[in-house]
Amino acid sequence: MHPLDVVKTRLFGFYKGILPPILAETPKRAVKFFTFEQYKKLLGYVSLSPAVTFALAGLGSGLTEAIVVNPFEVVKVGLQANRNTFTEQPSTLSYARHIIKNQGFGLQGLNKGLSATLGRHGVFNMVYFGFYYNVKNMIPVNKDPTLEFLRRFGIGLLSGTFASVINIPFDVAKSRIQGPQPVPGEIKYRTCFKTMATIYQEEGILALYKGLLPKIMRLGPGGAVMLLVYEYSYSWLQENW
């Protein structure tokens, strides 16, 4: 193989499984914020404190989001775990068909690891929305647009960071369940909490926090940007529509 082809193959290898998250990202974000608003309205009929309302609405949105994105996650993890060269890798659609044909739609097939995905998204959104809106309501609004932007961005950054720290054990469990098993043909990791317990017993508590720094670097600022885009877009739509 030509050296340039080798470099291309290795470079594209970093982007294995990129199509499923791209396909899932738009509906995922839409579901996150839409369902958060709907759950918030529903909880308005119950006499709860604002702090509890925001947290529970976030939990509900996360659980709903998880149901939508889990099949995409199964396909993505499977493609990324494929050790063949980029050119030999199956397409997203063909790999999804392969899973459905051999394992079906259930918890061993296209919805494998659903319990861990529910925990990952439910806990993340509960902390993310709960922290953001409660802290934002406690800190006075700044009249200066730039300082107000920085106030919201800072709170959003902390929200994404704290949510990542709290939910990463679920993320690790999800990756173990949906990824290749240690011994081919034997399923070691099945359910969320049992997987967490196994990892803790065999590898120690720190193993449940593997990948925390890259996650924070992605979802800290990313979480802040998402909230700001949502809030400013929502305000603009309310004013102009």
pTM: 0.84
How far is it, in rounded angstroms, from Cα 104 to Cα 125?
29
Query: How confident is residue 6, by pLDDT bands cut at 50, 70 and 90?
Result: very low
Q: State both tokens at 201.
A: 């017993």
- Residue 47 CB partners (closer than 8 Å, separation 6+): none
| pLDDT per residue as tens digits for the range 54-97 | 999 999 999 999 999 999 889 888 887 766 544 566 777 888 88
Query: How confident is residue 184, by pLDDT bands cut at 50, 70 and 90?
Result: confident
Q: State both tokens at 40.
A: 């918030």
DSSP 188-214: ---SHHHHHHHHHHHH-GGGGGTTHHH
How far is it, in rounded angstroms, from Cα 230 to Cα 241?
16
Q: Hey, how many other C-beta atoms are within 10 angstroms of the C-beta on 6?
A: 11
The pLDDT value recorded for residue 13 is 54
Contact criterion met (CB below 8 Å) for 101 and 50: no
| pLDDT per residue as tens digits for the range 116-153 | 999 999 999 999 999 999 999 999 999 999 999 999 99
